């Protein structure tokens, strides 16, 4: 009997095997023949699933976003506590630094090379899946979930420039610190969450300068401004 092929699974496998090639070399530096060779298939077989390289790129980022959201939903599906879900998601963020970097690299290529209407459709699908999943799993507003999504776009871009796990994890820890009171503590004890948030605001979000240091800094600034004004008012001497 001929082998029955699940075309959707096979398409996803082609995307998975092609991902490294796209992110390593970039959209403009590869062609369909090279992609087919990477997958060990004929160019004709590749075109059967993807009518163009542009189409393959758009499908790849949509698939990656879907896989990412499905995975953390799967991991949290049997976890009842919001606290445990939050801890799991923070760990998931940390272990998937490279995945988020790849998504960012692909997103940049999609923006540059795919029809704008198709780009908006792909981005909207990805953003909606991420926002809806985060909102439902952590029992937070869609606006907060969307803000977390947007934060990760920036963090992913930042991590490309500073490709060090410690720097990336430090930013995740910072996000954990400011999100934990409203997300984890507030549902059970709003007053306790408010007190924690006040502490976080004073120790993490506010400038930690003491009043004395603040006054010194103000005097330095005023002195600098005065010097600049004096330089402007002093007319050049005539020879």
179-238 pLDDT, tens digit each: 999 999 888 888 888 888 888 888 888 876 555 555 666 777 788 777 777 765 555 555
Task: Answer with the residue of higher pLDDT: 85 or 223.
Answer: 85
Give me the helices (H) in 42-113, please. Answer: 43-49, 53-76, 82-95, 97-113
The domain in which residue 147 lies consists of 54-210
What is the reported pLDDT for 1?
45
Within-domain flag for 227: no
Within-domain flag for 228: no
> What is the share, in percent, of the chain residues with pLDDT greater than 70?
90
Indicate if 24 and 138 belong to the same structural domain: no
Taking only the tens place, the pLDDT of each residue in 129-188 is: 889 989 998 999 999 999 999 998 899 889 888 878 888 999 999 999 999 999 998 888
Indicate if 71 and 92 belong to the same structural domain: yes
CATH number at residue 28: 1.10.10.60
Tokens of 83: 């606290």
**Full-model pTM:** 0.73
Tokens 């096979």 sit at which residue?
A: 10
| Residues 6 or more apart in contact with residue 205 via CB below 8 angstroms | 178
């Amino acid at each position: 009997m001929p082998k029955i092929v699940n075309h959707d699974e096979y398409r996803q496998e082609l995307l998975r095997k092609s991902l490294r090639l796209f992110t390593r070399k970039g959209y403009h530096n590869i062609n369909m023949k090279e992609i087919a060779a990477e997958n060990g298939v004929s160019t004709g077989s590749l075109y059967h699933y993807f009518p163009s390289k542009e189409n393959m790129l758009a499908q790849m980022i949509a698939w990656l976003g879907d896989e990412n959201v499905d995975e953390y939903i799967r991991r949290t599906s049997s976890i009842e506590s919001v606290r445990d879900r939050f801890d799991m998601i923070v760990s998931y963020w940390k272990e998937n630094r490279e995945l988020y970097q790849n998504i960012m690299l692909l997103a940049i290529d999609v923006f540059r090379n795919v029809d704008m209407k198709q780009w908006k459709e792909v981005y909207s699908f990805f953003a909606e899946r991420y926002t809806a999943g985060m909102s439902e799993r952590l029992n937070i507003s869609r606006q907060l979930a969307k803000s977390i999504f947007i934060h990760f776009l920036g963090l992913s871009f930042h991590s490309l420039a500073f490709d060090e796990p410690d720097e990336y994890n430090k930013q995740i820890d910072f996000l954990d610190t400011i999100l934990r009171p409203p997300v984890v503590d507030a549902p059970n004890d709003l007053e306790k969450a408010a007190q924690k948030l006040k502490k976080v605001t004073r120790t993490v979000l506010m400038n930690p300068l003491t009043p004395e240091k603040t006054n010194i800094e103000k005097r330095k600034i005023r002195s600098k401004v005065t010097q600049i004004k004096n330089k402007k008012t002093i007319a050049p001497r005539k020879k």
